[in-house]
Amino acid sequence: MVLGMTLLGTGCWGTHSEEPPIHIVHNMDQQERGDPQDRNDFFADHRFMRKPPEGTVAVGLLKDDDHLHRGIGPDGKISDELPASLELNEALLDRGRERYGIYCAPCHGDAGYGDGLATRRGGGMAVAPANLHMPGLQPAPLGYFYRVITLGKGQMRPYAAQVPVDDRWAIAAWVRVLQVSHRASAGDIPSDAQANSGRRAP
């Protein structure tokens, strides 16, 4: 009997048939499906597209690092340090300078004094952009600037949709560079840098 079944099974190999296939289990071969925006009367709202369960987070979008994504340190306060995933180096500052020039300088000015081109066109702006060197912003922690870029403040709209997370931190670091340079004197410039610029400390 086993030999007969084997011969029967091998006899089907390589053959062709015009008859429809035999479906033993229909639920996987013939099932109702719908495309986005299709109607489905099974549900009360008649939509095929279902809302994800509450609390669903897409893969890669959990954003569970409060420091990186919200500027909040382990102590629950706005952090004055870069997140652990970012290193303060020349590449980061170069990126921050470049992104600042694109997104921030039109209003805040190249040096951060709130005198960008947008303030001088069409009669100026109803509310002047912040001067990043004002005494109230000098001691502001690094995370403060990250949060303002992310969430917006006053008349400034949020830039989270335009500027990625790492770039927001890079801009915040560059703002700190501008602030430090505002308070610096010629004596703070290293001697080799003075030689290259032709300047000498008094």
Q: Is the pLDDT of residue 201 over 50?
A: no
Please report which residue ranges of 104-190 form alpha helices under DSSP H. Answer: 105-108, 142-151, 165-183
Q: Find out whether 153 and 165 touch, Cβ atoms under 8 Å.
A: no
Instruction: Please report the DSSP string for 10-31 in residue order.
Output: HTTTT---SSPPP-S--TTTS-
How far apart CA 192 and CA 197 sit, in angstroms, is 9
Pairwise CA distance, residues 102 & 112, whole Å: 13
**Confidence check: pLDDT of 42 > 50:** yes
pLDDT greater than 80 at residue 154? yes
First-to-final CA distance of the chain: 107
Neighbours of 18 (CB within 10 A): 4
Q: Name which of 83-87, 89-93, 104-108, 121-125 the model is least confident about.
A: 121-125
* Cα 138 → chain centroid: 26
One-letter amino acid for residue 170 of the chain: A
Phi/psi region, residue 111 (left: phi>0; alpha: psi -120 to 50; beta: rest), is alpha
Q: Could you read off the pLDDT of 94-134 as tens digits, one per residue?
A: 999 999 999 999 999 999 999 999 998 766 788 899 999 99
Q: 179: pLDDT confidence band, cut at 50, 70 and 90?
A: very high
Structural domains of the chain sorted by starting position, each given as residue range(s) with its CATH number in brackets: 90-104+131-185 (1.10.760.10)
Secondary structure of residue 159 in the 3-state scheme: coil
33/151: higher pLDDT: 151
